[in-house]
Amino acid sequence: MNAERRGARRKPLDVQVTYRVNGQARAESYQVEAVNVSETGILLRTELPLAIGTEIELEFALPGQTERLRLHGQVVWSNGVTDGGGRTFTGKGIHFTGYGAGCRALIAAYVGG
């Protein structure tokens, strides 16, 4: 997805994210890497299969923070992404669908800072 279509400023984010698929019979957790974040979503680096439309629960801490953020999101795209170093990886674009005002403020401060 190109920058013009995003509509929200993104900032690089290099943290581990734990996610669980909503409605899964076994609530299995997965650890993946974040690539960047905005107030409206996050890009995850993962080869794990996540179909577009899949609803997930996310948990991660922003750099320099001890508080773990807990959010709900939905997979909106999945494809190859090229990073700034020219390396390609499989990425999943997650749109945040639910989080508290405090969580949104922390993300906004990180992205804007």
Domains defined for the chain, CATH in brackets: 3-108 (2.40.10.220)
Q: Residue 106: what pLDDT? A: 95
What gap in Å lies between CA 107 and CA 113, rounded to an integer?
A: 10
Strand duo 16-21 + 69-82: pairing: unpaired
Please determine, for residue 54, whether its predicted confidence score (pLDDT) is greater than 70: yes
The 10s digit of each residue's pLDDT in 77-107 is: 998 777 777 777 889 999 999 988 899 999 9
Q: Residue 49: what pLDDT? A: 85
Q: Residue 85: what pLDDT? A: 74
What gap in Å lies between CA 65 and CA 54, rounded to an integer?
A: 28
Q: Residue 8: what pLDDT? A: 79
**Residue carrying structure tokens 């920058």:** 3
109 phi/psi in degrees, rounded to 5: -65, -40
Q: Residue 48: what pLDDT? A: 86
In this structure, what token pair is assigned to residue 56? Answer: 């997930």
SS3 49: coil
Res. 7 pLDDT band, cuts 50 70 90: low
Q: Residue 28: what pLDDT? A: 82
Q: Determine the Cα angle at 64 with ends 33 and 111, to 5°.
A: 70
What is the mean pLDDT of the segment spanning 5-27? 82
pTM, 2 dp: 0.85
